[in-house]
Amino acid sequence: MLCDSKSMAHATAQPYHDYPYDMRPLPYPAPPPASHSPAGHFHPSNPTVGLHSPYYLQHYTHPPPPAPIVHVNPQQQKINTLFVSGLPDDVKAREIHNLFRRHHGFDSCQLEYTGRGNQVVAFATFINHHSAVAAMGALDRTIFDPETRATLHIELARSNSKKRSRGGSAYVVIDKRAKVQEDDQNDWTDDGDVGSDESSDTENDNSRNKGALAATQSGEEEGKLVNGGAALDSEKTTQNIPPCSTLFIANLGPNCSEAELNKVLSKFSGFQTLKMRAKWGMPVAFADFEDVESSTAAMESLEGTLLDSSDRGGMHIEYARSKMRRN
């Protein structure tokens, strides 16, 4: 099954859609004079004047690192790819591209939905190790979203991306989430091992990576597989709980009420019963639906949703291990 990146956009609230990109021409290959970068005297209220980078990419908390002098071991000196974490889960590949493109030696980038919750990571490839390190020094700890203060963590990747910039595809989206078309609910068992075992960091084995979906702009290259899985060490697979018409809801705030949850769930067709109980003082809930289709739809659209009572992030929803007893 092929999915394009757009169909992956989720229905959750995305308040940062109109993220103010800086579309000014890139400063390369003619960088602006250094005198116009008053690093220490940066005024958020006047974001455009004399700045090398847009204001939201400036370091709010720390002054810019003096020089990206980083001591790396000989292995790392061959790495020209950066690993980016700390991204908000509604980040777009385009945003990653616009983040890195103005840095010298940038080649291309990839956005990867790891399949673990809504976690998103990215890889940015440079023409050589030096430019990668320079960009890392410039962008690590960048506050990516001033609203949430989501802060990027950028490090050298464990291995180089095999992505080539041939054909000019600016960025690539890799989606390891176990998403399924609406029409086939039989695929749920184990026809493939999507996201199950990505431990191989091989440089020369693309053979059995059908699970990962790569959507390119050029639409031409097929076998480009990100070896980025190597950078996510020892990921546990997501649930292998079979589909169930009852959902298990966790990560609720201590003050979450049955009424509050009921209100949210009632918007979904097929919703029948809600039962809550506390575990370690924290409430969990079981929501029963008339069939697996409706429970699945509710789960997919509510996963990660924040309630008013949420204090530990959004709800986490899985299929329950057993169906709710119907009375």
Partner DNA sequence: AGCACA
Which DSSP helix (H) or strand (E) runs through 172? strand 171-175
Candidate residues 53, 98, 159, 251; the one interacting with DNA per rule CB under 7 A = 251
Candidate residues 236, 240, 259, 281; the one interacting with DNA per rule CB under 7 A = 236
For 84, phi then psi, to 5°, come to -120, 120
Beta strand pairing call for 106-113 and 171-175: parallel
Our CB check for DNA shows the closer of 131 and 310 to be 310
Contacts of residue 182, defined as CB under 8 A and 6 or more positions apart, other chains included, come to none
Q: Nearest CA to 97 among 21, 177, 17?
A: 21
Q: If binding is defined by CB under 7 A, does position 322 make contact with DNA?
A: yes
Contacts of residue 233, defined as CB under 8 A and 6 or more positions apart, other chains included, come to none
Our CB check for DNA shows the closer of 160 and 246 to be 246
Which DSSP helix (H) or strand (E) runs through 94? helix 93-100
Q: If binding is defined by CB under 7 A, does position 286 make contact with DNA?
A: yes
Q: Closest distance between DNA and the C-beta of residue 327, in Å?
A: 8
Q: Nearest CA to 325 among 272, 282, 279, 284?
A: 272
The 10 Å Cβ neighbour count of residue 314 is 18
Q: If binding is defined by CB under 7 A, does position 312 make contact with DNA?
A: yes
Q: Closest distance between DNA and the C-beta of residue 316, in Å?
A: 4
Candidate residues 72, 241, 278, 306; the one interacting with DNA per rule CB under 7 A = 241
Candidate residues 39, 219, 275, 306; the one interacting with DNA per rule CB under 7 A = 275
Residue type, 103: H
Q: If binding is defined by CB under 7 A, does position 288 make contact with DNA?
A: yes
Q: Closest distance between DNA and the C-beta of residue 313, in Å?
A: 7
| Cα 244 to Cα 323: distance, rounded to the nearest angstrom | 6
Number of residues that bind DNA (CB under 7 A): 24
| Cα 279 to Cα 283: distance, rounded to the nearest angstrom | 6
Instruction: Concatenate the DSSP letters of all residues of 115-136 into one string.
Output: SSTT-EEEEEEESSHHHHHHHH
Our CB check for DNA shows the closer of 131 and 238 to be 238
For 181, phi then psi, to 5°, come to -65, 155
Strand partners, 309: none
Site for DNA in 185-214 (CB under 7 A): none
**What is the per-residue binding string for DNA in 101-140, x denoting contact by CB under 7 A?**
----------------------------------------
Q: Closest distance between DNA and the C-beta of residue 318, in Å?
A: 4
Q: If binding is defined by CB under 7 A, does position 254 make contact with DNA?
A: no
Our CB check for DNA shows the closer of 51 and 232 to be 232
Our CB check for DNA shows the closer of 50 and 243 to be 243
Q: Which residues bind DNA (CB under 7 A)?
A: 236, 239, 241, 246, 248, 250-251, 275, 277, 279, 284, 286, 288, 312-313, 316, 318-325
